[in-house]
Amino acid sequence: MTAKQQTGESWGELAKTVIYAGLIAIVIRTFLFQPFNIPSASMEATLLVGDYLFVQKFAYGYSRYTFPFGAWPVGDKMQGRYLGSAPTRGDVIVFKYPQDNSTDFIKRLIGLPGETIQMKSGRLYINNAIVPRKRVGDYVERVDGQENRVPQYEETLPGGKTYFTLDRDPDSPLDNTELYRIPAGHYFMMGDNRDNSDDSRQAVGYVPADNLEGKAMIRFFSTDGSARFWEVWKWPFAIRYSRILSLVN
């Protein structure tokens, strides 16, 4: 075998390896786990800008929106879910924005099909029953170099799921809403940063079951927003080490 033939075989093996690795990555991302980064503050203090998550794609089964470009023909006329299972109230879920399926949102599941949801004087009501909450220590953040304290509460949903919410504005328009009646096959999503979240109380509206992409499971990386994932040279000063490999509640 000549040196030219050996070089050709080496390039061929490298190409196969790259193709196989790419196919494996596509399968993992499509069927198992997808990375997702947090671009906004709507889920503070649970999720912060600069957090990177793994989303479990098989948590609720598969729909056309689980797959790239929403192009997988699942169910009748590409509707419905395959191997579907119902989400649990309180799950943090990535879903396709109903008004623009090219956009991903991440919120907490608050209301189930057939239920009513309402905010009154900053308190959450599910089926006309107030959701318990208790005051905890302030959420402390830095804005333009200054320390800012935000009132924080521990809220407990029916079923026992607990998590923290923020109350930035005691007179927010989102603190008093109409009574929402969730239609069949839809869910009601809210951000934990209650006064700074575009969710089912606003443009997001009710989220169809088909639009659920997966459940947020674990933060695998986090920076303070001053460095993107690929900016390795900034990591030592930007990484939030305490948030790495931590579960999403």
- The angle subtended at Cα 242 by Cα 241 and Cα 246, nearest 5°, is 110
Strands (E), the chain: 33-37, 51-56, 92-96, 104-111, 116-120, 123-126, 129-130, 133-143, 146-156, 162-166, 180-181, 186-190, 207-208, 212-222, 246-247
Query: Is 42 among the catalytic positions?
Result: yes
Residue pointed to by tokens 């990484």: 239
- The torsion defined by the Cα of 242, 243, 248 and 249, in degrees rounded to 10, comes to 40
Query: Is 96 among the catalytic positions?
Result: no
Non-local CB neighbours of 185 within 8 Å, separated by 6+ positions: 113, 208, 209
| Catalytic position from the list 107, 197, 215, 222 | 107
Tokens (6 digits) for 118: 């309402």
Catalytic residues, by residue number, are 42, 107
